[in-house]
Amino acid sequence: MATPGQGLTPVEEALARILADAQPISGADMLPLAECRHRVLASDVHSGIDVPPADNSSMDGYALRFADYAAGQRHFTVTQRVVAGAVGGPLKAGTAVRIFTGAELPPGADTVVMQEDARAADGAVEFGEGVRAAANVRPRGQDIAAGSRVVEAGTSLTAAHVGLLASVGLSQVPVLPRLRVAILSTGNELVEPGQPLGPGQIYNSNRYMLAGMLEDLGMTVVDMGIVPDDPEGTRRLLSQAAEAADVVLSTGGVSVGEEDHVKGAVEALGQLQLWKLAIKPGKPLAYGRVAGKPFFGLPGNPSSVFVTFTVIARPYLLRMQGLTSDLRLTEIQATAGFDWPKPGKRQEYLRARLETHGDGAVARLHPNQSSGVLASVAWGNCLVVVPVGKTLEVGDVVSVVLL
């Protein structure tokens, strides 16, 4: 088993340690259903009703009593017409009912023959052979039984969950408060998009990418802006950020350079619990506490921000936000569409695109894996995981994190 570089914490160990340290947020707000997507359910929700509430037809056709058919009857007088939203009267023995998709079966009817399998003429209908008992009937409670749990506490609500909650008639549900995440961008060189670029300057891309990823998770971004590279300014903004939010994320300034002031500021205001991971890109990642609040110091290079956020900070923030499962993105096996000849001392996350070919999926690398190249992330749809010490050839099986 290959060992990571000296003094570097392996990715899995780092994740286990920080996740054990994550404290889920508490409290609950009743929220209208239309505002619940991306929010985390605060307690289990049970259904007060059966869905569907009554047996109904899954086809346009004719409803009958199967016992009549089983006794050999093939010719039926049509005595009623029941459309969706209407309720028919009891079925007279030996007769059939014209019925439409979604209409409740009249009392006494238990089977539906689809109209394509029936010959109707002059107020009567004739059925051929092969009609099965209870055919084309959606029984009461088939989707959800009254009293059963519809959605579990700790679930991040998707559009499908919201639809499911609507199907049991709920107009509001209890959700956890949105996690408040402060973000700050360190670097004298940074200017905001829309401003002219002066000599030595670059645009602040991390701020927008991070804010977007947090909002996609349903969290509230508290944007603390740009912090110049000086120790006092860094300390001041970090402590303001800790006061304003549940958790603080910074980018840049976390390496060992003379102009990197984040680590010192964290040590002055709280504790550094983890620093330097066996991850590429993103080695200088820091985790600790600032004025009692959890803190992640992400690296400065945009691809490193993306990878460390996705692999390390994201699951932690989701746990804080109250999620009980699916903290990590789905990882699948795919085929390498590239060679990777150099073994590394850090676990690498290569920016790649997964393409399906026949019955398999092939991962192709972005040609530029430099940590400063954000275009690789925007182009890709997955990260190929290359463990420490591993090399790859075209056709090898690789683990791929789906984005």
Interacting residues toward ligand AMP by CB under 6 A: 185-187, 189-190, 202, 204-207, 251-253, 255, 299-302
Contact partner at residue 204 from ligand AMP, Mg ion, none, CB < 5 to 8 Å by partner kind: ligand AMP
Q: With binding defined as CB under 5 A, does residue 253 bind Mg ion?
A: yes
Contact partner at residue 299 from ligand AMP, Mg ion, none, CB < 5 to 8 Å by partner kind: ligand AMP
Q: What is the nearest approach in angstroms of ligand AMP to the Cβ of residue 299?
A: 5
Q: Which amino acid appears at position 314 of this protein?
A: R
Contact partner at residue 9 from ligand AMP, Mg ion, none, CB < 5 to 8 Å by partner kind: none
Which residue, 145 or 202, is less far from ligand AMP as judged by CB?
Answer: 202
Which residue, 297 or 315, is less far from Mg ion as judged by CB?
Answer: 297
Contact partner at residue 288 from ligand AMP, Mg ion, none, CB < 5 to 8 Å by partner kind: none
Strands laid side by side in the 124-127 sheet:
111-114, 61-64, 95-99, 75-82, 124-127, 118-121
Which residue, 61 or 187, is less far from ligand AMP as judged by CB?
Answer: 187
Contact partner at residue 4 from Mg ion, ligand AMP, none, CB < 5 to 8 Å by partner kind: none
Q: With binding defined as CB under 5 A, does residue 302 bind Mg ion?
A: no
Which residue, 106 or 299, is less far from ligand AMP as judged by CB?
Answer: 299
Which residue, 104 or 229, is less far from ligand AMP as judged by CB?
Answer: 229
Q: With binding defined as CB under 5 A, does residue 380 bind Mg ion?
A: no
For tokens 């107009």, the residue is: 171
Q: What is the nearest approach in angstroms of ligand AMP to the Cβ of residue 287?
A: 16
Contact partner at residue 206 from ligand AMP, Mg ion, none, CB < 5 to 8 Å by partner kind: ligand AMP
Contact partner at residue 347 from ligand AMP, Mg ion, none, CB < 5 to 8 Å by partner kind: none
Q: What is the nearest approach in angstroms of Mg ion to the Cβ of residue 267?
A: 18
Q: What is the nearest approach in angstroms of ligand AMP to the Cβ of residue 283?
A: 10
Nearest to residue 64, comparing CAs of 123, 131, 110, 126? 110
Which residue, 55 or 260, is less far from ligand AMP as judged by CB?
Answer: 260
Q: What is the nearest approach in angstroms of Mg ion to the Cβ of residue 258?
A: 11
Q: What is the nearest approach in angstroms of Mg ion to the Cβ of residue 280?
A: 19
Distance CA 69, CA 234 (A): 82
Which residue, 225 or 360, is less far from ligand AMP as judged by CB?
Answer: 225
Q: What is the nearest approach in angstroms of ligand AMP to the Cβ of residue 6?
A: 21
Which residue, 201 or 381, is less far from ligand AMP as judged by CB?
Answer: 201
Which residue, 194 or 341, is less far from ligand AMP as judged by CB?
Answer: 194
Give a three-class secondary structure readout of the chain: CCCCCCCCECHHHHHHHHHHHCCCCCCCEEEEHHHCCCCEECCCEECCCCECCCCEECCCEEEECHHHHHCCCCEEEEEEEECCCCCCCCCCCCEEEEECCCCECCCCCCEEEEHHHEEEECCEEEECCCCCCCCCEECCCCCECCCCEEECCCCECCHHHHHHHHHCCCCEEEECCCCEEEEEEECCCEECCCCCCCCCCEECCHHHHHHHHHHHCCCEEEEEEEECCCHHHHHHHHHHHHHHCCEEEEECCCCCCCCCCHHHHHHHHEEEEEECECEECCCCCEEEEECCEEEEEECCCHHHHHHHHHHHHHHHHHHHCCCCCCCCCCEEEEEECCCECCCCCCEEEEEEEEEEECCEEEEEECCCCCCCCCHHHHHCCEEEEECCCCCECCCCEEEEEEC
Contact partner at residue 190 from ligand AMP, Mg ion, none, CB < 5 to 8 Å by partner kind: ligand AMP
Contacts (Cβ under 8 Å, ≥6 apart) of 396: 335, 336
Which residue, 88 or 299, is less far from ligand AMP as judged by CB?
Answer: 299
Q: With binding defined as CB under 5 A, does residue 344 bind Mg ion?
A: no
Instruction: Give, in degrees to the nearest 5, the angle at Cα 92 between 87 and 98.
Output: 50
Q: What is the nearest approach in angstroms of Mg ion to the Cβ of residue 260?
A: 6
Q: Which stretch binds Mg ion (CB under 5 A): 29-37, 85-93, 122-130, 244-252?
A: 244-252
CB closest to ligand AMP, residue no: 300
